[in-house]
Amino acid sequence: MTNATLPPHASRIGNSTRNAVVLHSARVLAARSVWSIFFSKGVYILLGVAFLSGALILHNSLRAAERTLIYTATLPQIVPLLVISFLVATFLALLSALHIARERDRGTYEILLFGPVNAAAFILGEFLAQTIVFGMVVIATFVWINLVTWLLHLSYNLKIIVVLLQAIGMAAAVSGMGILTATLGQRTRSALVYLTLIIIFMVGIQAGDDVVSTMLAIGGQPGQALLFLRNALALVANIIEWVSPFAQMMLGVDALTNNDFLSVAAHLLITITQAFIYLSLAVILLDRKGARG
Amino acid sequence: MKRRLLLLILLMLLLSIPILPARAQAPERSEAFVYAVTAYDGLVYQSAFVPPNIETLYLMAGVENVLAARDTLIYFWDLTNRYEPDWLAKNIPIEGTLEISQHGKQIAEVHPTDYVIQYDTEQPIETRALFTGQAAVDAYARFLELQNDYRDASYLYYTLLETYRKVVDEIVASGKTIPAEDFPKPPQPPAQLTLYSSEIARGYVVNLPPGSYSLTLRLPDGSLVPGSQRSLVVFTELDEGISYTIMPETRWTRPDKSMIEGSTIYTLPDNTLYLQPFIQKKYNDQAYARMLDPQDMISRRDQERWVTFVPYNSASLAVFGGEQSTIEMEGYKIVQLAGSGLGYEVRPFDPESMDSSSFEGFKISLTSNSDAVNIFLLDKNGNMVPGSRREVRTLYTDRSVGLYALSLLPILAGLVAHFARSRWVKRIKVEG
């Protein structure tokens, strides 16, 4: 953040007052975005679809148990939780990218800069809004998962709360990624396209790596081409996991399943660091580009 | 002219046909220095072959493993994408000094020695032993002695059995009635020889702590054997615990496994399960796989695997929930139902009327009164066996409609928010 982007009167005030102004502006912008999302249909429809997907996964497990008479799992609720978190976090990231890009596109951001708003307050406001909305979704998911646990007589474990905490970290990082992409893209459409492609690439590599590894594990003697593909995918996936909040979430859940709580904390820390880096980069970029950049 | 032209075209056509390589039935063999590894896999010793293209060997830490250096012929087998040794064509042991280094500093020199692996086949883990040097010679001599004793005892047994049969035949032929206590007793067969022993072989016995090392073989003349330099990764288990094989009573041929401590075993109401505990250890996937097969390409360095070993027999099962109880392991026999239809019954093993049990395990029945129990193993001293805790629960599979109904709650919340906003917007009055 530089003084050049702060409102004219800000250069005459102290650091603590300036931070207070930035935080206040961020809170006002966040509240505006939260109400906007809260009264839009999209988030409810998406949450309904996410819950239905989770229900479908659990129903599948029930069907399997009916056939085999046994079903062993550490926590059957984890996969539905992952699906719900991924869907909602991606939706909110797209929404944050849309908000940021549209405000710049329409010139609203430029008008905001005439008030007590700078790039940091603008980005922080959007980020806070997405995190608050995701927090509310997490509360709704927590209620849903408890009802489902009671309904089906599933085992309950405090690990569910840890997964939800991991989901908040993941959503924060995905939201940061969306905001960064929006500051990179010139137009709303290009920002959304970039973000969609990045998410597809990250999740696709991860899924491809898992699928090819599973094929190799069950397929007997592998061909050289498949081995090469697996090694290439594994290499790319290993690099991507440092920047992908989705990969960190998966690794964290794996560690949780194996009762490796130190790794869980490490992956959560990496996710929070990702969010911080994405947001800091977004602020720096927006600062440099300015309102019309 | 025309004829010449035709001949020329024909010749060109013949030349244009690609020359197909002759398909050799036997792939080409080449001389190579290889390591033959006898590695302890946590239960028994297994042999593996390390061709020159494999740069890293994997061994378990804290146990004696054997490396043997060989000059042999190898060939590439296309069908499996692997190098294979032709031991019969050439198998010359190379004796020298195996130098082991870590961080560029030599930490050990290993000289070849005689070795023998022995264990009782009924208790392979507890009785596994690798004898080296003179102890190997003595152990093998003892094994041969036991083998000879067993052979002599078997010979004597069959001789006595022959005599016994003759005596019984004579009694039957005579038609006499003999009181049961006077009837000749059959001879008892000798106890089975359950000791397994490998033959005496020579190799470099290696027992190292976990870490990364490098290996090289130096000949007695001081020169290094070309191709003998390899990396060595010595690894240890990451965790250990208990896995359960779970068999539903009505589906005992299709068991499932529970590998992770704290996981839940779900079943349907009023179902009976039989649980068999096994000792298991967790290893790095790639290290374990490449110890068993150095040419493995499937395993992954970033994955872990549980390896199940022998049954954990000397334990009882503590059950909590509903009523607290301790269940002892019992034998069960699968008895086919009489009649032409398919079907079977699991019955407790009765040594008086049954030859042998089909399996041994802990029986758990969940009822409507007790639909969730916690279980763990107790060792001989009554202490909980680490890694053995599980939960067994009944699953209500008939409530899937409720599951979908719950998923519609966000849509209802959205409708409420929509109507609330509409009412709120209608109340706004625009002045002027």
**Mean pLDDT throughout B409-427?**
87
Phi, psi of B304, rounded to the nearest 5 degrees: -120, 160
The ipTM assigned to this model is: 0.79
Closest residue in B to A234 (Cα) is: B300
**Mean pLDDT throughout B126-140?**
91
pLDDT over 50 at A1, yes or no:
no
Which has the minimum average pLDDT: A99-103, B50-54, B374-378?
A99-103
pLDDT over 80 at B7, yes or no:
no
**Mean pLDDT throughout B261-289?**
92
Closest residue in B to A221 (Cα) is: B80
pLDDT over 90 at A247, yes or no:
yes
Residues 6+ apart with CB under 8 A from B53: B83
Please give the order of strands across the beta sheet that includes B264-267. Answer: A70-73, B264-267, B390-394, B372-378, B316-320, B325-328
Return contacts of B87-92, CB within 8 angstroms, 24+ apart. B89/B29, B90/B31
- pLDDT of amino acid B225: 93
| pLDDT band, residue A213 (cuts 50/70/90) | confident
pLDDT over 70 at B39, yes or no:
yes
- pLDDT of amino acid B25: 62
More confident residue, B290 or B365: B290
pLDDT over 70 at B226, yes or no:
yes
* pLDDT tens-digit readout, A132-179: 999 999 999 999 999 999 999 999 888 999 999 999 999 999 999 999
pLDDT over 50 at A84, yes or no:
yes
Supply the DSSP symbol for B384. Answer: B
Tell me if B302 and A224 make a contact (CB, 8 A cut-off): no
pLDDT over 70 at B22, yes or no:
no
pLDDT over 70 at A6, yes or no:
no
Largest CA distance in chain B: 134
**Mean pLDDT throughout B133-141?**
95
Structure tokens at B58: 């994997």
- pLDDT of amino acid A8: 52
More confident residue, A223 or B217: B217
Closest residue in A to B249 (Cα) is: A69
Q: What is the CA radius of gyration of chain B?
A: 34
- Rounded to the nearest angstrom, the minimum Cα separation between B61 and chain A is 23
> Which residues in chain A have their CB less than 8 angstroms from residue B396's CB?
151-153
> Which residues in chain A have their CB less than 8 angstroms from residue B375's CB?
none
- pLDDT of amino acid A292: 65
> Which residues in chain A have their CB less than 8 angstroms from residue B305's CB?
none
**Mutation target vs A (from B268, B285, B298, B423; most A CBs, 10 A cutoff):** B298
Task: For residue B76, list its beta bridge partners.
Answer: B83
Structure tokens at B392: 């067994």
- Rounded to the nearest angstrom, the minimum Cα separation between A227 and chain B is 7
Tell me if A51 and B409 make a contact (CB, 8 A cut-off): yes
pLDDT over 60 at A266, yes or no:
yes
| pLDDT band, residue B23 (cuts 50/70/90) | low
> Which residues in chain A (147-176) have CB-CB distances under 8 A to chain B?
147-148, 151-155, 157
- pLDDT of amino acid B182: 82
What's the pTM value of the predicted model, to 2 decimals?
0.78
Closest residue in A to B397 (Cα) is: A62
* pLDDT tens-digit readout, B310-334: 888 878 999 988 677 888 999 998 8
- CB contact at 8 A, A163 and A78: yes
Average pLDDT, chain B: 88
Residues 6+ apart with CB under 8 A from B60: B39, B40, B41, B42, B234, B235, B236, B291
- CB contact at 8 A, B176 and B127: no
- CA dist A84 and A90 (Å) reads 10
**Mean pLDDT throughout A283-290?**
86
> Which residues in chain B have their CB less than 8 angstroms from residue A221's CB?
79-81
- pLDDT of amino acid B24: 52
pLDDT over 80 at B362, yes or no:
yes
**Mean pLDDT throughout B417-428?**
84
- CB contact at 8 A, A164 and A81: yes
Average pLDDT, chain A: 86
Q: 3-state DSSP call for residue B344?
A: strand
Tell me if B262 and A52 make a contact (CB, 8 A cut-off): no
* pLDDT tens-digit readout, B55-106: 999 999 999 999 999 999 999 988 888 899 999 999 999 999 999 999 999 9
Of B265, B297, B397, the CB nearest to A72: B265
pLDDT over 90 at A291, yes or no:
no
- pLDDT of amino acid B229: 95
- Rounded to the nearest angstrom, the minimum Cα separation between B292 and chain A is 16
pLDDT over 70 at B13, yes or no:
no
**Mutation target vs A (from B403, B412, B418; most A CBs, 10 A cutoff):** B403
Q: 3-state DSSP call for residue B22?
A: coil
pLDDT over 80 at B117, yes or no:
yes
pLDDT over 70 at A275, yes or no:
yes
More confident residue, B136 or A13: B136
User: In sequence order, what DSSP letters do the residues of A175-243 get, joined into one string?
Assistant: HHHHHHHHHH-SSHHHHHHHHHHHHHHHHHHHHHHHHHHHHHHHSSSPPHHHHHHHHHHHHHHHHHTTT
Which has the minimum average pLDDT: A198-207, B109-118, B358-367?
B358-367
Which has the minimum average pLDDT: A284-288, B87-91, B340-344?
B340-344
> Which residues in chain A have their CB less than 8 angstroms from residue B399's CB?
151-152
**Mean pLDDT throughout A88-97?**
91
Of A51, A66, A157, the CB nearest to B407: A51
Tell me if A39 and B399 make a contact (CB, 8 A cut-off): no
